Protein backbone atom coordinates (compact mmCIF):
# COMPACT_ATOMS: atom_id res chain seq x y z
CA UNK A 1 0.00 0.00 0.00
CA UNK A 2 0.94 3.64 -0.31
CA UNK A 3 0.34 5.30 3.02
CA UNK A 4 0.42 8.81 4.46
CA UNK A 5 1.33 8.56 8.16
CA UNK A 6 0.58 11.76 10.08
CA UNK A 7 2.50 12.08 13.33
CA UNK A 8 4.77 9.37 11.95
CA UNK A 9 7.86 10.83 13.61
CA UNK A 10 6.28 10.43 17.06
CA UNK A 11 6.45 7.49 19.43
CA UNK A 12 3.80 5.05 18.14
CA UNK A 13 3.88 6.43 14.61
CA UNK A 14 7.59 5.83 14.09
CA UNK A 15 7.36 2.19 15.22
CA UNK A 16 4.44 1.73 12.83
CA UNK A 17 6.36 3.34 9.97
CA UNK A 18 9.24 0.90 10.51
CA UNK A 19 6.90 -2.08 10.47
CA UNK A 20 5.01 -0.93 7.36
CA UNK A 21 8.22 -0.35 5.45
CA UNK A 22 9.62 -3.70 6.56
CA UNK A 23 6.60 -5.41 5.01
CA UNK A 24 6.97 -3.48 1.77
CA UNK A 25 4.46 -0.64 2.03
CA UNK A 26 5.44 2.78 0.64
CA UNK A 27 5.22 5.40 3.39
CA UNK A 28 5.33 9.20 3.51
CA UNK A 29 5.35 10.86 6.94
CA UNK A 30 3.67 14.20 7.63
CA UNK A 31 4.81 15.57 10.98
CA UNK A 32 5.21 19.06 12.40
CA UNK A 33 8.20 17.75 14.42
CA UNK A 34 6.80 19.68 17.37
CA UNK A 35 6.97 16.48 19.41
CA UNK A 36 8.47 14.04 16.92
CA UNK A 37 12.01 13.31 15.77
CA UNK A 38 13.46 12.98 12.29
CA UNK A 39 15.94 10.37 13.61
CA UNK A 40 13.05 8.09 14.60
CA UNK A 41 12.17 7.35 10.95
CA UNK A 42 15.57 6.98 9.29
CA UNK A 43 15.35 7.63 5.55
CA UNK A 44 11.53 7.53 5.32
CA UNK A 45 10.26 10.44 3.17
CA UNK A 46 9.27 13.20 5.60
CA UNK A 47 7.15 16.27 4.92
CA UNK A 48 7.42 18.78 7.74
CA UNK A 49 4.01 20.35 8.11
CA UNK A 50 0.67 20.26 9.87
CA UNK A 51 -2.53 18.35 9.22
CA UNK A 52 -4.31 21.73 9.19
CA UNK A 53 -2.57 22.59 5.91
CA UNK A 54 -5.11 21.11 3.48
CA UNK A 55 -3.28 22.26 0.36
CA UNK A 56 -0.12 20.53 1.56
CA UNK A 57 -1.99 17.32 2.49
CA UNK A 58 -3.69 17.20 -0.92
CA UNK A 59 -0.42 17.84 -2.72
CA UNK A 60 1.48 15.12 -0.79
CA UNK A 61 -1.28 12.56 -1.42
CA UNK A 62 -1.42 13.46 -5.12
CA UNK A 63 2.34 13.67 -5.71
CA UNK A 64 2.96 10.25 -4.15
CA UNK A 65 -0.31 8.62 -5.29
CA UNK A 66 -1.14 7.61 -1.70
CA UNK A 67 -4.25 5.52 -1.15
CA UNK A 68 -4.47 5.27 2.65
CA UNK A 69 -3.91 7.46 5.70
CA UNK A 70 -2.89 6.48 9.22
CA UNK A 71 -3.54 9.45 11.48
CA UNK A 72 -1.45 9.65 14.67
CA UNK A 73 -0.87 13.42 14.75
CA UNK A 74 -2.43 14.85 17.91
CA UNK A 75 -1.71 16.08 21.40
CA UNK A 76 -2.17 13.38 24.04
CA UNK A 77 -1.74 14.84 27.55
CA UNK A 78 -5.08 14.39 29.31
CA UNK A 79 -4.03 16.59 32.27
CA UNK A 80 -2.95 19.44 30.00
CA UNK A 81 -6.25 19.15 28.12
CA UNK A 82 -8.10 20.02 31.37
CA UNK A 83 -6.05 23.21 31.68
CA UNK A 84 -6.16 24.13 27.98
CA UNK A 85 -9.12 22.45 26.22
CA UNK A 86 -8.94 24.81 23.23
CA UNK A 87 -5.47 23.50 22.37
CA UNK A 88 -6.92 19.97 22.14
CA UNK A 89 -10.08 20.82 20.21
CA UNK A 90 -8.01 22.91 17.82
CA UNK A 91 -5.25 20.42 17.05
CA UNK A 92 -7.02 17.11 17.59
CA UNK A 93 -10.48 17.93 16.21
CA UNK A 94 -9.98 20.81 13.76
CA UNK A 95 -6.61 19.38 12.67
CA UNK A 96 -8.26 16.01 12.01
CA UNK A 97 -11.20 17.58 10.17
CA UNK A 98 -8.81 19.39 7.80
CA UNK A 99 -6.88 16.20 7.19
CA UNK A 100 -9.95 14.00 6.68
CA UNK A 101 -11.51 16.44 4.23
CA UNK A 102 -8.27 16.89 2.27
CA UNK A 103 -7.70 13.13 2.14
CA UNK A 104 -11.27 12.45 1.03
CA UNK A 105 -11.06 15.12 -1.68
CA UNK A 106 -7.74 13.67 -2.87
CA UNK A 107 -9.44 10.30 -3.39
CA UNK A 108 -8.31 8.41 -0.27
CA UNK A 109 -10.82 5.69 0.73
CA UNK A 110 -8.97 4.07 3.68
CA UNK A 111 -8.28 5.83 6.94
CA UNK A 112 -6.90 4.46 10.23
CA UNK A 113 -7.32 6.65 13.30
CA UNK A 114 -5.47 6.65 16.66
CA UNK A 115 -8.22 6.71 19.23
CA UNK A 116 -7.93 5.93 22.92
CA UNK A 117 -9.46 4.07 25.84
CA UNK A 118 -10.08 7.57 27.27
CA UNK A 119 -13.28 7.64 25.16
CA UNK A 120 -14.80 5.29 27.77
CA UNK A 121 -13.96 7.39 30.85
CA UNK A 122 -14.31 5.42 34.08
CA UNK A 123 -15.42 1.92 33.11
CA UNK A 124 -18.62 0.63 34.64
CA UNK A 125 -17.47 -2.97 34.23
CA UNK A 126 -14.35 -4.91 33.27
CA UNK A 127 -12.99 -5.85 30.84
CA UNK A 128 -13.90 -2.86 28.66
CA UNK A 129 -15.48 -3.90 25.35
CA UNK A 130 -16.09 -1.70 22.31
CA UNK A 131 -19.78 -1.53 23.22
CA UNK A 132 -19.09 -0.13 26.71
CA UNK A 133 -20.72 3.27 27.40
CA UNK A 134 -18.76 6.20 26.00
CA UNK A 135 -18.09 8.98 28.48
CA UNK A 136 -14.80 10.85 28.13
CA UNK A 137 -13.81 12.66 31.31
CA UNK A 138 -11.38 15.14 29.80
CA UNK A 139 -11.14 17.24 26.61
CA UNK A 140 -8.46 14.92 25.24
CA UNK A 141 -10.78 11.89 25.32
CA UNK A 142 -13.66 14.02 24.02
CA UNK A 143 -11.51 15.24 21.12
CA UNK A 144 -10.85 11.64 20.05
CA UNK A 145 -14.52 10.67 20.32
CA UNK A 146 -15.50 13.68 18.20
CA UNK A 147 -13.10 12.55 15.47
CA UNK A 148 -14.52 9.00 15.61
CA UNK A 149 -17.97 10.54 15.08
CA UNK A 150 -16.79 12.73 12.19
CA UNK A 151 -15.31 9.67 10.53
CA UNK A 152 -18.65 7.87 10.77
CA UNK A 153 -20.27 10.73 8.83
CA UNK A 154 -17.51 10.80 6.23
CA UNK A 155 -18.21 7.09 5.73
CA UNK A 156 -21.97 7.67 5.36
CA UNK A 157 -21.70 10.77 3.18
CA UNK A 158 -18.54 10.11 1.14
CA UNK A 159 -17.74 6.39 1.45
CA UNK A 160 -14.49 7.05 3.34
CA UNK A 161 -13.94 3.76 5.21
CA UNK A 162 -12.10 4.00 8.51
CA UNK A 163 -10.85 1.96 11.43
CA UNK A 164 -10.61 3.62 14.84
CA UNK A 165 -8.12 1.90 17.12
CA UNK A 166 -8.70 2.58 20.80
CA UNK A 167 -5.32 2.05 22.47
CA UNK A 168 -5.03 1.36 26.16
CA UNK A 169 -1.60 2.31 27.67
CA UNK A 170 1.12 2.28 25.01
CA UNK A 171 4.57 1.42 26.36
CA UNK A 172 7.84 -0.36 25.53
CA UNK A 173 10.43 0.27 22.83
CA UNK A 174 12.07 -1.27 19.76
CA UNK A 175 13.63 -4.67 20.43
CA UNK A 176 17.10 -3.38 19.42
CA UNK A 177 16.74 -0.27 21.63
CA UNK A 178 17.04 2.00 18.58
CA UNK A 179 13.71 3.78 19.12
CA UNK A 180 11.47 4.58 22.06
CA UNK A 181 9.46 7.22 23.85
CA UNK A 182 11.11 10.59 24.40
CA UNK A 183 12.08 10.63 28.11
CA UNK A 184 11.97 14.45 28.19
CA UNK A 185 8.22 14.89 28.00
CA UNK A 186 6.41 11.95 29.58
CA UNK A 187 3.28 11.64 31.67
CA UNK A 188 2.69 7.89 31.73
CA UNK A 189 3.77 5.52 34.46
CA UNK A 190 6.34 3.37 32.64
CA UNK A 191 8.43 6.25 31.22
CA UNK A 192 8.19 8.03 34.58
CA UNK A 193 9.52 4.89 36.27
CA UNK A 194 12.30 4.73 33.65
CA UNK A 195 13.23 8.33 34.38
CA UNK A 196 13.59 7.43 38.06
CA UNK A 197 15.75 4.44 37.08
CA UNK A 198 18.11 6.50 34.87
CA UNK A 199 18.35 9.32 37.44
CA UNK A 200 16.47 11.86 35.27
CA UNK A 201 13.92 11.97 38.11
CA UNK A 202 14.58 11.44 41.81
CA UNK A 203 11.55 9.26 42.46
CA UNK A 204 8.22 7.94 41.24
CA UNK A 205 5.00 9.16 42.83
CA UNK A 206 2.43 6.42 43.47
CA UNK A 207 -0.97 8.12 43.32
CA UNK A 208 -3.23 6.13 45.64
CA UNK A 209 -2.50 2.98 47.63
CA UNK A 210 -6.06 2.45 48.88
CA UNK A 211 -7.83 1.43 45.69
CA UNK A 212 -10.02 -1.69 45.78
CA UNK A 213 -7.32 -3.68 43.95
CA UNK A 214 -5.22 -6.61 45.29
CA UNK A 215 -2.25 -4.40 46.29
CA UNK A 216 -4.18 -1.11 46.62
CA UNK A 217 -2.59 0.62 43.61
CA UNK A 218 -4.20 1.46 40.27
CA UNK A 219 -4.36 -1.13 37.51
CA UNK A 220 -3.90 -0.38 33.78
CA UNK A 221 -3.56 -2.41 30.60
CA UNK A 222 -0.06 -1.83 29.16
CA UNK A 223 0.28 -2.68 25.49
CA UNK A 224 3.64 -2.93 23.70
CA UNK A 225 4.21 -0.30 20.99
CA UNK A 226 5.23 -3.07 18.56
CA UNK A 227 1.90 -4.80 19.11
CA UNK A 228 0.18 -1.49 18.36
CA UNK A 229 2.23 -1.11 15.18
CA UNK A 230 1.18 -4.59 14.07
CA UNK A 231 -2.48 -3.72 14.64
CA UNK A 232 -2.17 -0.71 12.28
CA UNK A 233 -0.82 -2.91 9.51
CA UNK A 234 -3.73 -5.29 10.07
CA UNK A 235 -6.19 -2.41 10.08
CA UNK A 236 -4.94 -1.39 6.62
CA UNK A 237 -5.38 -4.99 5.45
CA UNK A 238 -8.89 -5.04 6.93
CA UNK A 239 -9.81 -1.91 4.95
CA UNK A 240 -8.41 -3.44 1.77
CA UNK A 241 -10.52 -6.56 2.27
CA UNK A 242 -13.78 -5.14 3.67
CA UNK A 243 -15.94 -2.31 2.40
CA UNK A 244 -16.89 -1.00 5.85
CA UNK A 245 -15.67 0.95 8.86
CA UNK A 246 -15.11 -0.43 12.36
CA UNK A 247 -13.62 0.22 15.79
CA UNK A 248 -11.30 -1.97 17.88
CA UNK A 249 -9.83 -1.96 21.37
CA UNK A 250 -6.10 -2.57 21.57
CA UNK A 251 -4.92 -3.86 24.92
CA UNK A 252 -3.50 -7.10 26.25
CA UNK A 253 -6.67 -7.90 28.16
CA UNK A 254 -4.63 -8.08 31.38
CA UNK A 255 -4.06 -5.34 33.91
CA UNK A 256 -0.91 -4.59 35.90
CA UNK A 257 -0.77 -2.55 39.09
CA UNK A 258 1.65 0.30 39.80
CA UNK A 259 3.50 -1.91 42.27
CA UNK A 260 3.81 -4.70 39.69
CA UNK A 261 5.30 -2.24 37.20
CA UNK A 262 7.77 -1.01 39.82
CA UNK A 263 8.75 -4.58 40.67
CA UNK A 264 9.41 -5.42 37.01
CA UNK A 265 11.37 -2.19 36.51
CA UNK A 266 13.57 -2.80 39.57
CA UNK A 267 14.25 -6.32 38.33
CA UNK A 268 15.04 -5.29 34.74
CA UNK A 269 17.24 -2.33 35.70
CA UNK A 270 18.79 -3.62 38.94
CA UNK A 271 18.16 -0.09 40.23
CA UNK A 272 16.43 0.36 43.55
CA UNK A 273 13.91 2.84 42.11
CA UNK A 274 12.57 5.16 44.81
CA UNK A 275 8.77 5.34 45.02
CA UNK A 276 6.77 7.70 47.22
CA UNK A 277 3.14 7.06 48.08
CA UNK A 278 0.77 9.96 47.76
CA UNK A 279 -2.97 10.63 47.52
CA UNK A 280 -5.18 9.49 44.65
CA UNK A 281 -5.58 11.89 41.74
CA UNK A 282 -9.19 12.96 41.21
CA UNK A 283 -10.78 11.19 38.26
CA UNK A 284 -8.31 8.28 38.10
CA UNK A 285 -10.23 4.99 37.79
CA UNK A 286 -9.01 2.19 40.07
CA UNK A 287 -8.68 -0.37 37.29
CA UNK A 288 -8.94 -0.46 33.49
CA UNK A 289 -8.25 -3.30 31.12
CA UNK A 290 -9.45 -4.16 27.65
CA UNK A 291 -11.66 -6.79 26.18
CA UNK A 292 -9.56 -7.36 23.04
CA UNK A 293 -11.53 -10.29 21.60
CA UNK A 294 -12.89 -8.28 18.68
CA UNK A 295 -9.44 -7.28 17.41
CA UNK A 296 -8.30 -10.88 17.81
CA UNK A 297 -11.29 -12.28 15.93
CA UNK A 298 -11.72 -9.70 13.17
CA UNK A 299 -8.18 -8.40 12.59
CA UNK A 300 -6.47 -11.69 13.45
CA UNK A 301 -4.29 -9.62 15.81
CA UNK A 302 -2.89 -10.79 19.09
CA UNK A 303 -0.48 -9.11 21.46
CA UNK A 304 2.91 -10.80 21.44
CA UNK A 305 4.46 -8.99 24.39
CA UNK A 306 3.61 -8.69 28.07
CA UNK A 307 4.67 -6.47 30.95
CA UNK A 308 8.09 -8.10 31.22
CA UNK A 309 9.05 -7.33 27.59
CA UNK A 310 7.52 -3.88 27.83
CA UNK A 311 9.66 -2.97 30.81
CA UNK A 312 12.81 -4.68 29.50
CA UNK A 313 12.66 -2.95 26.10
CA UNK A 314 11.81 0.39 27.73
CA UNK A 315 14.79 0.01 30.05
CA UNK A 316 17.19 -0.92 27.22
CA UNK A 317 16.06 2.18 25.28
CA UNK A 318 16.27 4.52 28.28
CA UNK A 319 19.64 3.21 29.43
CA UNK A 320 21.15 3.69 25.96
CA UNK A 321 19.30 6.97 25.21
CA UNK A 322 18.80 8.81 28.54
CA UNK A 323 18.12 12.02 26.59
CA UNK A 324 16.09 10.37 23.82
CA UNK A 325 17.16 11.46 20.33
CA UNK A 326 18.70 14.71 21.65
Ligand X SMILES: NC(=O)c1ccc[n+]([C@@H]2O[C@H](COP(=O)([O-])OP(=O)(O)OC[C@H]3O[C@@H](n4cnc5c(N)ncnc54)[C@H](O)[C@@H]3O)[C@@H](O)[C@H]2O)c1
| Residues that bind ligand X in the complex, under the rule CB under 6 A | 6-7, 9-13, 30-36, 50-52, 72-74, 76, 91, 95, 114, 116, 167, 169-170, 188
Minimum distance from CB of 272 to ligand X (Å)?
27
Annotated catalytic residue, options 88, 140, 167, 222: 140
Minimum distance from CB of 108 to ligand X (Å)?
16
Please say which residue, 89 or 210, places its beta carbon nearer to ligand X: 89
**Which residues have C-beta within 8 Å of that of residue 275, sequence separation ≥ 6?**
196, 203, 204, 205, 206, 262
Cα four-point dihedral sign 221, 171, 188, 46: negative
Vertex 134: Cα angle to 133 and 135 (nearest 5): 115
CA distances from 313 to 80, 161, 192, 250 (A): 28, 34, 15, 19
Please say which residue, 178 or 209, places its beta carbon nearer to ligand X: 178
Distance CA 148, CA 156 (A): 13
Minimum distance from CB of 35 to ligand X (Å)?
4
Please say which residue, 95 or 139, places its beta carbon nearer to ligand X: 95
**Which residues have C-beta within 8 Å of that of residue 24, sequence separation ≥ 6?**
none
DSSP state of 27: E
Q: What is the 3-state secondary structure (H, E, C) of 199-263?
A: CCCCCEEEECCCCCCCCCCCEECEEEHHHHHHHHHHHHHHHHHCCCCEEEEECCCCCEEHHHHHH
Please say which residue, 180 or 262, places its beta carbon nearer to ligand X: 180
Minimum distance from CB of 296 to ligand X (Å)?
19
Minimum distance from CB of 147 to ligand X (Å)?
9
- For 49-76, b/e burial (b = at least 16 CB within 10 A) is bbbbbbebbbebbeebebbbbbbbbbbb
Q: Is 140 a catalytic residue?
A: yes
What's the N-to-C CA distance of the chain in angstroms? 32
Please say which residue, 135 or 216, places its beta carbon nearer to ligand X: 135
Please say which residue, 188 or 209, places its beta carbon nearer to ligand X: 188
Distance CA 276, CA 191 (A): 16
Distance CA 254, CA 287 (A): 11
Minimum distance from CB of 248 to ligand X (Å)?
13
Q: Which residues are catalytic?
A: 140
Amino acid sequence: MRVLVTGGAGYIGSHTVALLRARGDFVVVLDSLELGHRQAIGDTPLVVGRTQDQALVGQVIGDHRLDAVIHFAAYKAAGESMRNPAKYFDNNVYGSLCLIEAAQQAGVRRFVFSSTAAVYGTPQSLPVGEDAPLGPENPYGESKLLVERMLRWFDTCHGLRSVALRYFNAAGAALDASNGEDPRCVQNLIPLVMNAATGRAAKVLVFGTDYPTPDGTGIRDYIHVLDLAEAHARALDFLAQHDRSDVFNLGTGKGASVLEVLREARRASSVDIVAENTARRPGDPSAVWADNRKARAVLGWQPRYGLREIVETAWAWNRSHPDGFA
